[in-house]
Homo-oligomer: A and B are copies of this chain.
Amino acid sequence: MAHPIVKHLEEFRAQKSDLLHKDFLITWEHPRTQIEAILALAEVLKQLHAAQVPYRAFDSGLAISIFRDNSTRTRFSFASAADALGLGLSELDEEKSQIAHGETVRETANMISFLAEVIGIRDDIFLGEGNRYMREVGVALTEGAREGVLHRRPSIVNLQCDVDHPTQSLADLVWLKEHFGGLDQLRGKRLAMSWAYSPSYGKPLSVPQGVIGLMTRFGMEVTLAHPEGYGLIPEVLEVAKKNAAENGGRFRVVGSMEEAFRGADVVYPKSWAPYAVMQRRTELLKKADKPGLAALEKECLANNARFIDWQCDRAKMDLTQGGKGLYMHCLPADITDVSCKRGEVSAEVFEQYRIATYHQASYKPFVISAIMYLARVKDAAARVAALVDRVR
C-alpha cells in the first residue's frame, strides 16, 4: 500500500496556490483552493518530519515575530516552522526596542525587514486594532519593496488578531480532515462552537470567529451558542452565514450549550469576552483607565458567573452524536478542579479527550510551515514532490 503521504501530495498538487509573495491574514479572503492547498501541504510536511526528511528551503533569511500578547504554543509553532525551513528567528520585543519611543509602524516595518522572508504577528488585545495593524505593516512593506528599499517584500502571517486566528482554525481543520478521513467527510457534520464559562475575562474572539468563518466553507453544519450578550463581531457572523449558504452547509446561533451539543459530531466549548465588552475594554485600554478597567473586569466576572453552568461535562457530552462527539479546544483550557475551581470543561471530559487536543495542536507548526512555503518558495509543488520521493 502506498504511504499516506502520496495521497496528501496528490491532494496538494490538485489545488492551485496563489500565495507567492503574499500575506495570510484572514481565511475567508483566500479562495477555497488556496485553503485546501495549505491543508494538504501541512499534512505532507508533517509526514516528511515523521519520516525524518528535512524540508529546509532557505540557506539564510529571517522569520520575524511580533508578539503583542502572550503566547506559548503559537510562539513555538512559529519558531519550529521557521527553523524547519532554514529561517533564523528574530523577535521584535517592543519593550526592548525603540518602538516604545514613538517610532511609527511604517518605519519599523521596513527597518526590520531588509533580510526578512516572513513576519508573524500576534495582536489580539484591542478590538479593531490588531488586524488593522497587520495591514498597516503590509502597506509599509509594499511601499518599501516598490521603492527599492526592500529587495523582496516579506509575507505577513497572522498569528492571531482581533478578527481571525487562521493558523489555529486551519490546524483545527486539518485535524478534522484527518479525524474524519477527508474533507469530503466533513460535509453535513455538525459542529457546535459554544461559549463556555471561565473565571477570567477578556479572552479574544478570534478563535470562535476563525472556526465559524472557516468550517462553514466545507459544508459543515455549524451552530454557534452563547448566552445573551456574548455575541461575536457582527460582520463575521455575516461571513459565516454567507459561507454556509454558498457551500451547502448551515449556520445558526442558539442560546444554550445543550441545544448546540444535541447531535453534534464535534464540540468546541471555549470562553470569550462579549463583543460589546471588548469594545468598552479597548477604549479603556487606550485611555489607560485603570479604575475603569478594574470596574469592567468586576462587572464582567459577575456577569460570567451567571452562566457557570455553561461547562462541558459528561451530561452535555452525552447529548452529542451517539454520546461520542469529538471535543476540541485550542488550549490551554480552563479545566474544573485542575487549572481552576470551575471552568470550561470538567476534568473527566478533558482527560478523555486530552490526547485528542494534543493531536489537534500538533498540526499548527506544519500549517505555518505550509503557509511560509507557499508564500516564499517558487516551484513549491515540484520541490515538495522531490522531497516526497525520499520517503517511499
Is the beta-carbon distance between A107 and B331 smaller than 8 angstroms?
yes
Of A66-74, A204-212, A246-254, A279-287, the segment with at least 4 beta carbons within 8 Å of chain B is A66-74
Taking a contact as CB atoms closer than 8 A, the residue among B80, B107, B112, B144 that contacts A115 in the complex is B80
CA distance A77 to B85 in the complex (A): 21
Q: Which of A43-71 contact B (CB under 8 A)?
A: 49-50, 54, 56, 58-62, 64, 67, 70-71
Of A1-9, A25-33, A288-296, A355-363, the segment with at least 4 beta carbons within 8 Å of chain B is A355-363
Is the beta-carbon distance between A358 and B54 smaller than 8 angstroms?
no
Is the beta-carbon distance between A102 and B340 smaller than 8 angstroms?
yes
CA distance A196 to B339 in the complex (A): 43
CA distance A46 to B338 in the complex (A): 47
Asked if A149 lies at the interface with its beta carbon under 8 angstroms from chain B, I say yes
Asked if A370 lies at the interface with its beta carbon under 8 angstroms from chain B, I say no
* In the complex, per-residue mask of A70-88: 1 if CB is within 8 Å of any chain B CB, else 0: 1111011101101111101
Taking a contact as CB atoms closer than 8 A, the residue among B86, B90, B99, B151 that contacts A49 in the complex is B151
Is the beta-carbon distance between A358 and B149 smaller than 8 angstroms?
yes
Closest Cβ of chain B to A297, distance in Å, is 15
Asked if A271 lies at the interface with its beta carbon under 8 angstroms from chain B, I say no
Chain B residues with Cβ below 8 Å from A148 are: 359
What is the interface size of chain A, counting residues whose CB is below 8 A from a CB of the partner? 65
Chain B residues with Cβ below 8 Å from A77 are: 114
Is the beta-carbon distance between A62 and B80 smaller than 8 angstroms?
yes
Chain B residues with Cβ below 8 Å from A92 are: 72, 76
Asked if A97 lies at the interface with its beta carbon under 8 angstroms from chain B, I say yes
CA distance A362 to B82 in the complex (A): 23
Q: Which residue of B lies closest to A84 (CB)?
A: B60
Asked if A332 lies at the interface with its beta carbon under 8 angstroms from chain B, I say yes
Is the beta-carbon distance between B60 and A149 smaller than 8 angstroms?
no
Contacts A339-B102, A358-B147 given; indicate if A332 touches B80 (C-beta within 8 A).
Answer: no
Is the beta-carbon distance between A102 and B71 smaller than 8 angstroms?
no
CA distance A26 to B209 in the complex (A): 48
Closest Cβ of chain B to A376, distance in Å, is 11
Is the beta-carbon distance between A112 and B72 smaller than 8 angstroms?
yes
Q: Which residue of B lies closest to A144 (CB)?
A: B358
Taking a contact as CB atoms closer than 8 A, the residue among B96, B111, B115, B149 that contacts A355 in the complex is B149
Asked if A89 lies at the interface with its beta carbon under 8 angstroms from chain B, I say yes
Is the beta-carbon distance between A90 and B110 smaller than 8 angstroms?
no
Name the residue among A79, A147, A148 with the largest chain B CB count within 10 angstroms: A79
Q: Which residue of B lies closest to A149 (CB)?
A: B358
Q: Which residue of B lies closest to A360 (CB)?
A: B149
Chain B residues with Cβ below 8 Å from A112 are: 72-73, 76
Asked if A98 lies at the interface with its beta carbon under 8 angstroms from chain B, I say yes
3 shortest A-B CB distances, which residue pairs?
A83-B88, A54-B59, A80-B115
List 18 additional A-B contacts (Cβ < 8 Å) besides A60-B84, A60-B85, A143-B355: A54-B59, A61-B83, A62-B76, A62-B80, A71-B96, A71-B98, A72-B92, A72-B98, A72-B111, A76-B114, A82-B88, A89-B90, A98-B332, A103-B332, A104-B332, A110-B361, A111-B358, A147-B359
